[in-house]
Amino acid sequence: MTESTGDTVATISEFLDRHRDEIVADWSAATFFRAAGSTAEDTAADAAEVLGGVRRAIEHGEQDDPTAESFAALRGLLSAFTVPSQDQYFVSQAAVRMSRLKEPVLRLWQAEHSGDTGLLVEGVVLLSTAVSTLRLVLLDVALRSVLDTITSQREQLTELSTPVIKLWDGVLAIPLIGTLDSMRSQVATESLLQAILDQQAKVAILDITGVPTVDTMVAQHLLKTAMAARLMGADCVISGIRPQIAHTMVQLGIDLGEVATRARLADALAYALGRVGLAVAAPSDAAPAAPPSR
Amino acid sequence: MSEVPVVDLGGVLLVSIQEELLDASVATLQQDLAQRVIDTGARGILIDISVVDVVDSFLARALHEIAAITSLLAARTVVVGMRPAVAITLVELGLTLPGLGTALSVGDGLRLLGDTGPGGPATAELP
């Protein structure tokens, strides 16, 4: 069996070499390469390279492995590939166009080997596996381009959602919004600590009004942030704990320990001002609250 | 092996840790500090680690021991100027240094120890 497969591979390899120009001409005319390449020569060169890849893949017995080195040429060709967000069938249509590449090769193969059924079938299986793998490569590339988009958007979201606000001299607030996963809370912690260092802030307010749910994970992140701020010499206050969240936290047995908590951001600000030795007074008082010195 | 500089700010000893501490230098520092506290009657110790990039469990324990030793001699220890990355690492390691005072800067540390003397910065006065 292995012997005959080896023979078949050699025959296919020789067959692809011999009919190289015919297949390239057929492939260049196919919609897929017309779409990918720009000029006629480019298209032919691209098609020849992909065909070479198919031949190498069959020779190395890796015709069903989309990660194989042999398909690198196709991956390179597809790297400029971007999935338009409007067209939801774009990838599958490209895959269909690509599967039409199979037909010219198989037609030639059949014309040449119709006498020997065994060789014919084996060759058809190998060739069509190899060309089908091209579609898998296409899907992989398309998927990766989509994943890249998601990753970069996630990064943008992380940057957008963690602003550190200076409320007063020595008082910082970080309004946490949305679901806090490990990465987002790490970024939030880092930017808060950096702001504490830069502005020499005495008190930092972690406002969780915009956090929909607090589970043990989120509580752990909040505690870690508060602890790290304390190690640097700043106090942390957690504010914006809604009644339902307080309820859930107690039921989960979450203990925020020595970290101060306040119901609203306003309460936390009053507490923070007290910690830096300031108080807010009505203007009718003899000594109105001084504006921040800077 | 270089010695860790200890500066007397009049009632408060300022210790600047510049580089990684080895076992021997920690032991020397602890004895030296205890002696200096007795000699000067200092009521506080500021340990400035603002130039330290890496605080491992060894240094954390050393800081703890210094705090314990000096508190026996009625002097309070405050760690000053810890970097954000160091603080995050310590919390991840679970080393939250309970019992140790912390401050953002030497000025804040002095204020925490109740010092508003000539060494204290002008911002000590709040509006």
Residue in chain A nearest B82 by alpha carbon:
A232
pLDDT at B121: 40
A278–chain B Cβ distance below 8 A for any pair = yes
Tell me the residue length of chain A: 294
Burial per residue of A195-217, b for 16 or more beta-carbon CB atoms within 10 angstroms, e otherwise: bbbeebbbbbbbbbeebeebeee
Please, are residues A144 and A177 in contact by the beta-carbon 8 Å criterion? Answer: no
Residues of A in contact with B96 (CB under 8 A): 227, 230-231
Instruction: Name which of B52, B55, B82, B95 to mutate to probe chain A: the one with the most chain A Cβ atoms within 10 A of its Cβ.
Output: B82
Residue B108 to residue A228, Cβ atoms within 8 A: no
The model's pTM is 0.63
Could you report the per-residue pLDDT of A15-45, keeping only the tens digit for each?
888 888 888 888 777 766 655 556 777 777 7
pLDDT digits (tens, 9 = 90+) for A234-263: 999 999 988 988 898 888 888 887 889 999
Out of A82-86, A174-178, A289-293, B39-43, pick the least confident: A289-293
CA distance A290 to chain B (A): 7
> What is the least distance, in Å, from the CA of B113 to any CA of chain A?
13
Handedness of CA A280, A283, A289, A292 (dihedral sign): positive
CB contact under 8 A, A233 and B126: no
Question: Are B104 and A278 an interchain contact pair (Cβ–Cβ within 8 Å)?
Answer: no
The ipTM estimated for the assembled molecules is: 0.77
pLDDT at A83: 63
Cα distance between residue B43 and residue B113, in whole Å:
8
Number of A/B CB contacts below 8 angstroms equals 64
Contact B87 A228 (CB under 8 A): yes
For chain A, the straight-line distance linking the first and the last C-alpha, in angstroms and rounded, comes to: 85
Q: Distance from B105 to chain A by nearest Cα, in Å?
A: 8
The length of chain B in residues reads 127
Instruction: Look at residue B5 and give its three-state secondary structure.
Output: coil
